[in-house]
Amino acid sequence: MNQLLTRGPKGTSSGDAEHQNQPEAAQVRAERRRRAAHRWKELKEWTRIHLRRAAHVAHGALAIHQAVGPVSFLGISAALGVALTLTTLYTTSYAVTLDGDPVGVVADQSVVDQAIQEVEAEGSSLLGYDYQVEGELDYQFALTLKTDITREADIEDYFYQQLNEVSDHLKKCQVSVDGQVVGVVKDEDTLNDMLDELKNQYVNENTVESGFVEDLTIDYVYAVDTVMTTDEMRQALEANTTGETTYTVQKGDTFNAIAYANDMSVSDLKALNPDVDINRLMIGDVLNVKELIPVLSVQTLEHQIYTQEIECPVETKEDSSMYKGTSKILTQGEPGEAQVEANVTYVNGYERDREILSTTTLREPTTTVKAVGTKEKPKTASTGSFSWPISGRITSYFGGRYIFGSYSYHSGIDIATSYGAAIKAADGGTVTFAGYKGSYGYLVIIRHDNGTETYYGHNSKLLVSAGQKVYKGQQIAKAGSTGRSTGVHCHFEVRINGKAVNPLNYLR
C-alpha cells in the first residue's frame, strides 16, 4: 500500500490505451449492479416474509399453550427459539466474488460499490488514466452470522491489492539531480546497480564512506512517453558541465600554455579573467580556469595512515664575507619521519579536504646549518628581480609566431620604442657580451649573480663592454633596428641554465 501513495503525473501513456474511454464496459458494469440490486431487494423481501412467518408461529404457539397446557409447550418453545436466533445472531448477506475469487461477505452491496469507487478514483489519479476495476463481480445470497461480516477496510484492501498489481507492472523510475529531471528508466534494480557502479569506481580499501554530492532522488511514475536504457541514464549522469576552478601561475607558465593545459582557447581563458594582463603574468597569480564537472559527482571519505617527511630545522650563522641576501649550506641535516592518520575527502577522485587526526614522530630530523651574508651588496649586485628594460608596447610575444612570411620560434619579447631611446639593465650583473651577433644585431648579454642571463638586442649603439659590472636600471645601449628586425624595438630575453623562458613571468 505504501507504493500506492506516490503520485505520478496526470496523462495517458501509449501502452495504456486499452484503459481509456470504455463506455461499453461501463454500461455492462452498471447493468450488473442494477440486476444485483434488484435481486438483493427480492432476497431481503423473502427474508422479511419468512422471519414474519416465524414470528406468527411463535405467537400461535403461545396461544396453543394457553389452550392445551404446559405439556405441549416444549415443542412450541423450540419453534420460538429458532425464530429469536434467526433475528438476533444472523443477518441476510452477500458472498461477493470477483471472477470466482472470494472478496468477502457484506450486509449491503453499497459497501462494495463504495470501495470500488474509492479505489478507481485513487488509481486514476495515480496512473494517469481512467482506471477501472477489472473482472466480473458476483453476489450470492447467504444467511450469515453478524460476526462473520467482512470489515469495510478489508473489502477496500482487496481492490487496492488489484490496483497495486497493476501499478507495479506499469511503475517506472524517474531520476532527478538537484530537482532537475534527468530521465526515466524501467527497472529499479538495474538502476540501483548502475548507481552503485558509479560510486564503486572511486572506492578502495581505505574508503569508509561514499555517496553523491548532489541531491539524487528517484520517484515512481506511470504515464511517460520516453524511457531511457540504463546505459543512456549512466551517460546522462556522467555528462560534463562546465564549472570554474583556479590555477596558480608557476615559473615558466605562459597564458597560452595554461589555456592549452585546460583544454581552453585563449579567448575563453581571458573571458574568465577580464582583469588579468595576459602579457604580464607573475608567479603566484591566481587565474580562473574551467573545470569539467559531471551531472552527478561522487564523494568518498578515506581513512589513511601514511608516513610524511619532517623538515629539518635550520640554524643560521652570520658570515661577513658574503653579501646580504646570499647564503650557503654549511651542514645539511637529515629529514625526520612521522606517521600521520588522516581522513581525506575526494570528489570524483580529486582531493578536496584533508583532516589530520594524529601525527606520531618516528624519527627526529637533524639540524641544517646555513651561513647568511652580512656584507653590504655593491650597487652592481643582483637583486633577484627584473625591471622592464624600456617602457613600450609589446609587438611580439614569447613562443611561436609568424614573421617574414613563415612560422618561427620567438625566444623573447619585442618592446616597441623610439630610435635612440635608453635601454636599461633589468638587474645588476656582469656584461658577458657586447657586440654584433647575427639576427640579434647589436646585442648586450648580462649574467646575473644567480646565473640567469638577460639579452638586449637590435640596438643602434652599445654603451657597455664585456666584463663590465652594471647596476639595475643602468643605461647599457640605445634602441635601434639592427640585425633581423622589422622596426625599432628592444628584443628582451631571459635565459635560465641556457634555456629561454617567457620574460613576462619574471618582469615586474
Write phi, then psi, for 24 (nearest 5 degrees). Answer: -65, -45
CB-CB contact of 447 with 380 (8 Å): no
Residue 8: predicted pLDDT: 32
For domain 394-505, the CATH class is mainly beta
Q: Name the residue among 91, 96, 79 with its Cα closest to residue 48.
A: 91
C-alpha grid cell, residue 174: 524517474
**pLDDT tens digits, residue range 27-75?**
655 665 666 566 556 555 655 555 555 555 545 545 544 554 454 445 5
Pairwise CA distance, residues 27 & 137, whole Å:
14
- Burial pattern 402-427, b for ≥16 Cβ within 10 A else e, equals eeeeeeeebbbbbbbbeeebebbbbb
pLDDT for 206 equals 95
Determine the pLDDT at residue 9.
Answer: 33
* Alpha-carbon gap, residue 64 to 124, rounded angstroms: 64
Residues 6+ apart with CB under 8 A from 422: 390, 475, 478, 479
The residue with greater pLDDT, 247 or 206, is: 206
Q: How confident is the model at residue 231 (pLDDT cuts 50, 70, 90)?
A: very high
Grid coordinates representing 383 are 637583486
pLDDT of residue 1: 28
Q: Where are the alpha helices (DSSP H) in 148-187?
A: 152-170
- Residue 378 identity (one-letter amino acid): P
Pairing of the two strands 314-323 and 368-375:
parallel
Distance from C-alpha of 309 to C-alpha of 335, rounded to nearest angstrom:
6
pTM over 0.75: no
Provide the grid cell at 328. 650557503
Phi then psi for 444, rounded to 5 degrees? -120, 130
Q: What is the mean pLDDT of the chain?
A: 83
Per-residue confidence band for 365, with pLDDT thresholds at 50, 70 and 90: very high
Q: Which CATH architecture best describes the domain 241-294?
A: Roll (3.10)
Question: In angstroms, rounded to a whole number, what is the distance separating the alpha carbons of residues 70 and 64?
Answer: 9
Strands 314-323 and 101-106: unpaired
The CATH superfamily assigned to 299-375 is Resuscitation-promoting factor rpfb. (2.20.230.10)
Q: What burial letters (b/e) apply to 316-341, b meaning 16+ CB within 10 Å?
A: eeebeeebeebbeeeeebeebebeee
pLDDT at 215: 96
Please say if the pLDDT value at position 13 is more than 60: no
Q: Is 296 strand, coil or helix?
A: coil
Cα separation of the two ends of the chain: 73
Tens digits of per-residue pLDDT, 83-130? 555 567 888 888 999 999 999 999 898 999 998 998 888 888 877 778
Sign of dihedral through CA atoms 165, 167, 173, 178? negative
Q: What percentage of the chain has pLDDT greater than the value 90?
A: 47
The span from the CA of 93 to the CA of 146, in Å, is: 9
* Residues contacting residue 504 through CB under 8 Å, at least 6 positions apart: 254, 279, 280, 281, 397, 398, 413
Mean pLDDT of 364-381: 94
C-alpha cell at 388: 622592464
Domain ranges within the chain, ordered by starting residue:
3-169, 174-239, 241-294, 299-375, 394-505
Nearest to 446 by CA among 473, 422, 467: 467
Q: What is the pLDDT of residue 435?
A: 97
* Residue 129 grid cell: 488514466
| pLDDT band with cut points at 50, 70 and 90 for residue 373 | very high
Q: Residue 231's Cα: distance from chain center in Å? A: 18
pLDDT at 316 over 90: yes
pLDDT at 320: 93
